[in-house]
C-alpha cells in the first residue's frame, strides 16, 4: 500500500492567495483527519471525516479554512485568503475507525509558507 | 484540543543510554498511543496501550500507563542515533475517534 499521499509537499504563496492542499487516504480507511503543526501550538486537529461526511470541524480556525471529501479516496483543505500566520505543516491521516482511539496513519505533510 | 503534555521538552543522550519520556493527560481515556516523528516527516505509530493495561513492550520500547495519575512513560532502551526524533503521546477525545496530541519530546541521540 502506498500509504497516505499528500500534495503538494511544499507550497510557497503570497498573502491573499488561495491555497489548496490535497490528500488521498489509505484505501479502505473510512476516517480521514486533517492536522496542522506549528512550533507554538504543536499538532492541532482541524477536522475529521467519516465516510466522506465531516464529523467535527471545531478545530478549523476561521471561515477562511474549508475542507471537503467528495469521495472516499480524496480530500482537500482550502485556505482562502491565506495569511502569514497560516504558515505551518499540514498533515492528513486516516484509519479504519473500527474502534475508539485507533492508530492513525499519517501522510508526509505539506509544508506551507505564506509570505 | 491538546490533552497530552510531554516531559521533558528536549532530551539529549549518548548512544547506548536509555531515554525516558513522560506524558500527562487530563481526562479519562480508552487508550494512549506514542508516535515518532523524524525531522521533516509525518508521524509514525509506535505503540498503543489500553486503559486496562499497565505496561507494554515492543522491541526496545517499554510503555507504562498509570490511569490513577493520568500519566504514561515511554522508555527506549539502548538508544541509537537513528532514534533521534520527536516523540508524541496521543489520547482519544470524547468521540473516541479523534486523537489529541501533546507538543512532543525532542530526543537527540549522539554517537
Q: What is the pLDDT of residues A56-114, one digit of tens each?
A: 999 998 899 999 999 999 999 999 999 999 999 999 999 998 887 789 999 999 999 99
Residue A14's region, left for phi above 0, alpha for psi from -120 to 50, else beta, is: beta
Average of pLDDT values for B68-97? 92
Here the cell at position A108 is 508526509
Query: What integer is the mean pLDDT of A49-57?
Result: 94
> Which of B43, B45, B96 is closest, CB to CB, to A100?
B96
Q: Which of B91, B97, B101, B103 to probe by mutation at the A interface, max A CB count within 10 Å?
A: B97
Give the distance from residue A80's alpha carbon to the nearest chain B alpha carbon, in angstroms.
24
Q: Mean pLDDT over residues B81-103, rounded?
A: 89
CB contact under 8 A, A42 and B101: yes
Q: Which of B77, B72, B38, B75 is nearest to B54 (CA)?
A: B72
Q: How many CA atoms lie within 13 A of A66 on its CB side?
A: 7
Task: Report the first-to-last Cα separation within chain B, whole angstroms.
Answer: 37
Chain B stretch 24-83, residues whose beta carbon is closer than 8 A to a beta carbon of chain A: 29-31, 33, 35, 41-45, 48
Selected for mutation to probe chain A from B32, B43, B93 (highest A CB count within 10 Å) is B43
Nearest to A33 by CA among B98, B92, B105: B98
Distance separating alpha carbons of residues A14 and B48, to the nearest angstrom: 41
Task: Look at residue A99 in the predicted model and tell me its pLDDT.
Answer: 82
For B11-50, the pLDDT digits (tens) are 999 999 999 999 999 888 889 999 999 998 999 999 999 9
C-alpha grid cell, residue A104: 492513525
CB < 8 Å to B101, chain A? 35, 42-43
If one compares A20 and B3, the residue with the highest pLDDT of the two is: A20
- Distance of residue B66 Cα from the nearest chain A Cα, in angstroms: 17
Amino acid at each position: 500500500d502506498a500509504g497516505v499521499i499528500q500534495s503538494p509537499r511544499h507550497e510557497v504563496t503570497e498573502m491573499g492567495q488561495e491555497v489548496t492542499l490535497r490528500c488521498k487516504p489509505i484505501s479502505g480507511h473510512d476516517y480521514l483527519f486533517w492536522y496542522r503543526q506549528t512550533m507554538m501550538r504543536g499538532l492541532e486537529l482541524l477536522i475529521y471525516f467519516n465516510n466522506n461526511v465531516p464529523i467535527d470541524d471545531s478545530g478549523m480556525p476561521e471561515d477562511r479554512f474549508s475542507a471537503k471529501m467528495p469521495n472516499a479516496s480524496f480530500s482537500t483543505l482550502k485556505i482562502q485568503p491565506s495569511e502569514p500566520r497560516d504558515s505551518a505543516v499540514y498533515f492528513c491521516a486516516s484509519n479504519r475507525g473500527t474502534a475508539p482511539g485507533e492508530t492513525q496513519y499519517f501522510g508526509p505533510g505539506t509544508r506551507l509558507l505564506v509570505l | 484540543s491538546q490533552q497530552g503534555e510531554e516531559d521533558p521538552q528536549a532530551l539529549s543522550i549518548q548512544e547506548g543510554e536509555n531515554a525516558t519520556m513522560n506524558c500527562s493527560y487530563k481526562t479519562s481515556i480508552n487508550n494512549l498511543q506514542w508516535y515518532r516523528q523524524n525531522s521533516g516527516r509525518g508521524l509514525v505509530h509506535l505503540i498503543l496501550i489500553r486503559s486496562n493495561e499497565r505496561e507494554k513492550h515492543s522491541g526496545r520500547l517499554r510503555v507504562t500507563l498509570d490511569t490513577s495519575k493520568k500519566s504514561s512513560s515511554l522508555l527506549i532502551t539502548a538508544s541509537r542515533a537513528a532514534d533521534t526524533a520527536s516523540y508524541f503521546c496521543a489520547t482519544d477525545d470524547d468521540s473516541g475517534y479523534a486523537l489529541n496530541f501533546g507538543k512532543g519530546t525532542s530526543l537527540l541521540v549522539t554517537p
